[in-house]
Amino acid sequence: MTAPTTGTAPPRTAAATASRTPHLGNPQTPLEAPHTAAAQRTVAIIPARGGSKGIPLKNLQKVAGKSLLTRAIESAQHAQRIDHVVVSTDHDGIAEEARAAGAQVIRRPSDISGDHATSESALLHALAELGTPYAITVFIQCTSPFIDAASLDNAVDRVASHSADVVFSAVADHSFLWKLGPDAAAEAVGHVASHRPRRQDREPHFNETGAFYVMRTEGFLEHRHRFFGRIMIEEVPEEHAREIDSMSDLTLVRSIAAQQDAHPLLDVQALVTDFDGVHTDDSVLVADDGREVVRTHRGDGLGVGRLVSAGFPFLILSKERNPVVSRRAEKLRTEVLQGIDDKAAALEAWMASKEVDPQKVAYVGNDLNDLPAFGAVGWPIAVADAHPKVLAAARVVLSRPGGHGAVREVCDLIPDSALPARTPDLTSSPIAFAAPHTHKTKEFA
């Protein structure tokens, strides 16, 4: 058996370094591959079991409105060198999510689905179940949410061109490493303790990101392990090296992802908003006679009017039951549901009545009671001054706070191409729940 050898990537070309942010749109142009690589088919396999302990159903947790599983599938789909994407799972919900994202599902037997099962066992089982031979196998892990398709293509190219048997993602590290010796004394690792060169004078070492491993299938089947033969590194930037092992990791990457693409065009079929803190700035002025006054933004009406006039489904969904919500909905000519404690259930029922795809619905919120609704749609959106947990869970964070044009901003992100061609009947009244007479009356400022 030939002992594994390692090597780092050759100097990266402009094509390989053009993108230093996670892939969100069209894939980056990969490096030119040798002609011998063109005929070699590549399969990406994503193991995703349902029994994660640290974060329950971790693979279905959402980052910027998409599950970790869907993000991994889409990264593979955007890679030009990957021909087929497979998800290996033992969980019905994960299987459903994988199929919805366009991946083939291979059901994993229970004996290789437990806490002690290796990733290699899932890969070997999937390859056997596929039947179709693939020259190259790409092992992708859902726990890395920022996989760039260009990096996948670069790694596949190097295996296909026989430069390497295995290429894995790693990030350069110039830190001084230490370990504890048998007597608990600190021992330098990879450097001499008495010599402290400058960072730029030190050779880096590389940390596995765990995001992907590209392997020659024949060698993997022979060795039954991800490392064999000539091993090389696909160096990825630090911002692509985030890995989720704990809830704090998940919170951090959600915050990062929400800020990366703050103003995309929304591929949606309907728009739903909270009222207080979205249409208003969440403050109330109370007069000496008990009347309450809230402030809205005049520009919001123009944005909403553009959508409503085209027949685009728009709903105001409010926990509060108050005449002011109904009056604002009447002025905007939108549907309204108010006095709603379970926003997620009400939202799901409304989406079903409109026959829209929940993954193509946007919900704009600002506070903790909006989080269940965030989980029901594909486009959770937060106003700029939302609660930190709402900001972290959002797929998009608006630049404007509630009551200061946030509704207009999100309306403007919906392109004309998303609007239906039909003309609605604007004479019909909005759907509303009447507010009890015991509530104080609010007025608009």
Instruction: Find the CATH number of the domain harbouring 379.
Output: 3.40.50.1000
Identify whether residues 17 and 73 lie together within a single domain: yes
Please give the Cα distance from 406 to 398 (Å, whole number): 7
**125 part of a folded domain:** yes
| Predicted local distance difference test score (pLDDT) of residue 23 | 34
Beta bridge partners, 361, equal: 270
Instruction: Find the CATH number of the domain harbouring 37.
Output: 3.90.550.10
**376 part of a folded domain:** yes
The pTM assigned to this predicted structure is 0.65
Identify whether residues 211 and 335 lie together within a single domain: no
Question: 347-380 pLDDT, tens per residue?
Answer: 999 999 999 999 999 999 999 999 999 999 999 9
Backbone angle region of 23, left / alpha / beta, with phi > 0 → left and psi within -120 to 50 → alpha: beta
Identify whether residues 38 and 177 lie together within a single domain: yes
Total domains present in the chain: 2
Mean pLDDT of 112-124: 92
Identify whether residues 318 and 223 lie together within a single domain: no
Q: List all residues 6 or more positions away from 63 whose beta carbon is below 8 Å from its beta carbon.
A: 71, 145, 250, 253, 254, 257
Show the tokens assigned to 83: 């021909």
Question: 220-247 pLDDT, tens per residue?
Answer: 999 999 999 999 999 998 888 888 988 8
Looking at residue 403, what DSSP letter applies?
A: T
Identify whether residues 229 and 308 lie together within a single domain: no
Question: 315-357 pLDDT, tens per residue?
Answer: 999 998 888 899 999 999 999 999 999 999 999 999 999 999 9
Question: 207-216 pLDDT, tens per residue?
Answer: 999 999 999 9
**314 part of a folded domain:** yes
**260 part of a folded domain:** no
Nearest of 24, 109, 85 to residue 212 by alpha carbon: 85
Identify whether residues 179 and 302 lie together within a single domain: no
Lowest-confidence region among 217-231, 374-388, 408-422: 408-422
Identify whether residues 275 and 234 lie together within a single domain: no
Does an H or E element contain 21, and which? none
* DSSP SS3 for 42: strand
* Last residue in a domain, options 226, 244, 262: 244
| Burial grade of 389 (CB within 10 A; 0-12, 13-18, 19 or more) | middle
Identify whether residues 228 and 297 lie together within a single domain: no
pLDDT > 90? residue 138: yes
* Last residue in a domain, options 210, 244, 278: 244
Identify whether residues 284 and 340 lie together within a single domain: yes
Q: What are phi and psi of 151, to 5 degrees?
A: -65, -40
Mean pLDDT of 165-178: 92
Q: How far is CA 218 from CA 164, 202, 225, in A?
A: 13, 37, 11
Identify whether residues 426 and 303 lie together within a single domain: yes
Per the structure, the complete domain to which residue 407 belongs is given by: 270-444
pLDDT > 90? residue 313: yes
Q: How far is CA 343 from CA 9, 33, 274, 363, in A?
A: 50, 51, 10, 11
